[in-house]
Amino acid sequence: MHSLWLGLLLISAQYEPAAPPAAGLGDYQIDKAELQVLSAGATRVSVESQSAAPHAGAFPLCFVIDNSKGPRQRLTLSYKGNARELTSAIVRSVDLEAGERRRVTVPIPALLNSGLVEAQGPGSSGKMSVYFNMLGNTQHSVLALGTTVDFEELVGATTGSSENDNRVPDTRVLVMAPGDAPSEAMSYSGYEMVIITSADALDALSASQRSALESHLLQGGSVVIRGPVRNWSAFPLVGQAEVTSQPYGLGTLTVATSSLAKRALVWATPLVNPRAPRSSDEVEGWQLLPQATPTLIRFLLIIVAFTLVIGPGSFWLARRRGPMILLFSIPFIAVSTCALIIVSSVLNEGFSVHTAVYGYTWLDGPRNRALTFGLGGYYANLANSSMRLSSTSTVLMSQGNNSERYTAGYRWEEGINLNSDFMPSRRYREWGLISLEPTRAHVTVKREGTVLTLQNALGSPISQITVNIDGKEYTARGVADGAAAALQPERSALPTLVVPQAVAPPQATMFKRARYGAPTPTEVERFDQHLRDSFTSRPLQPNEFVAAISGQGFVPTGGVAAELHDGKHIVRGEISE
């Protein structure tokens, strides 16, 4: 029953970009990454660069380490990208044995297509600038695990650009040996498709690489495997059912037993779309937190009072006490005004971190794990020191072409340790947080005669829950965490998640209207339509539930103590009896 339910649980996100190839990969180009020597000491370190950086998400930055002549050591690898407001580097430390050779990948946000790479250790030291080619607006990015020969046999020969023509290929492909594949899900997030070119390539993946690939697939990725597949252990939701194409979590798994040249393929796109201010943004109130919106009225009142006191007030005081008193009164008024502005800011924002979180969570009960697509708005008067996420998590930033795109530095140590620029001082930030975490959360339904009693063990209060039992729908409302409630037979609309949207101001100036167009009533949805439909539009299967909960939900906190302004979530899963 679990296998049937899991196979039906979530519909696939059938993503298609603005101009996908009619079939197959279209005209493609295989990128040839250039291996550049970073350090030539006792420990030789090289880095691959000049391949294509994807449009969104992240891609793997590959280091090749040869410690055959070096001592046992800890080597620190870092990459400082050229991006606005990025104050720290992306760092990964590697413990090397004497004589060891290793290939290490570090997930790099797609925005950082150029920067400074550095290696520091007892047997190695060096730095250099690297860059990665940018994709055209209509180009696709594909990661192929296997050999170039197997890849070309699977997808067919390209008819695309050569060195002697000016045609732009539809798809850019990075071919990587299976043993070099990333072991973190975030490194796959920028690719619209991952192709495993043979069954041997799949079998050659390590346990950590398979886990990362499955996490990417669950989180909305598109994975193509050249069949027949001998071992399905890497994808437990499939079991032994080898089918052509099927949904897997929020992604799509395709098994190809013949050429892909004439086959329509599924391209993945981001499911969570954090907002960022446009470079020409005249919109106020688009933030999810009221603390991030300047209190203009209070500030204007302080400035007006300052103007009255420093102007007419000083003139009156000089006539009463003489001009010399102004040497003391003007500095005192200025300092008092600054202190009043600071106190006003503290009263409005405080010193705590303010957050608003929203998310969609799928509970995989048989495997005791939760897949969460979260969106968080963050604001703090003082920069937060750090935020820690697991290695199965993916961090997404705003991808709007007209947005002020930002990113953050982090240290990769068995997970993501985000630095303070993730939540800078007095800067509102929105981030997408996709996580796959172990959990014991569940919903229990007990039968006592004709009465069905629901027990809430989700860790958050339920505002509404709809359950399908024996083909009939039952509903309960207002169930506290840990409490029980009687289910009532009621066929009602499934709970939905409403995320506040930004509304353009009616007072836009004529200049801005002429230059940027009239303001629209709402902005782009922060959650993809396919993601929302997967949770709230598809009919419930037997023993399945959909619940609307409040609070932090399953969106990871990263160890940050914060004041929660708003938290709403949709949870879908299977009941336990």
User: HEC string of 310-379?
Assistant: HHHHHHHHHHHHCHHHHHHHHHHHHHHHHHHHHHHHHHHHCCCEEEEEEEEEEEEHHHCEEEEEEEEEEE
**Per-residue model confidence (pLDDT) at position 520:** 40
Which residues 6+ apart lie within 8 Å of 270 measured at CB? 56, 57, 220, 396, 399, 432, 528
**Per-residue model confidence (pLDDT) at position 116:** 93
Element (H, E) at 271: none
In contact, 487 and 476? CB cutoff 8 Å: yes
**Per-residue model confidence (pLDDT) at position 522:** 40
The string over 110-124, giving b where at least 16 C-beta atoms fall within 10 Å of a residue's C-beta and e elsewhere, is: bbbbebebbbbbebb
**Per-residue model confidence (pLDDT) at position 63:** 94
The string over 429-456, giving b where at least 16 C-beta atoms fall within 10 Å of a residue's C-beta and e elsewhere, is: bbbbbbbbbebebbbebeeeeeebebbb
What's the whole-model pTM score? Answer: 0.83
**Per-residue model confidence (pLDDT) at position 279:** 52
CA dihedral 156, 160, 161, 167 (to 10 degrees): -160
**Per-residue model confidence (pLDDT) at position 143:** 95
Strand order across the 544-550 sheet: 394-396, 429-438, 369-380, 353-364, 562-574, 544-550, 462-469, 472-479, 488-489
**Per-residue model confidence (pLDDT) at position 380:** 82
Q: 411-430, pLDDT tens digit by residue?
A: 988 788 888 888 888 788 88
Residue numbers in the chain where pLDDT is lower than 70 = 1-23, 84-85, 158-166, 239-243, 278-285, 292-296, 345-351, 385, 399-404, 501-524
Q: 287-305, pLDDT tens digit by residue?
A: 888 776 666 677 778 888 8
In contact, 171 and 203? CB cutoff 8 Å: no
- Choose among 112, 116, 121: nearest CA to 85: 112
Strand order across the 193-196 sheet: 28-30, 171-176, 140-145, 193-196, 222-226, 251-256, 245-248
For residue 309, the 8-state DSSP code is I
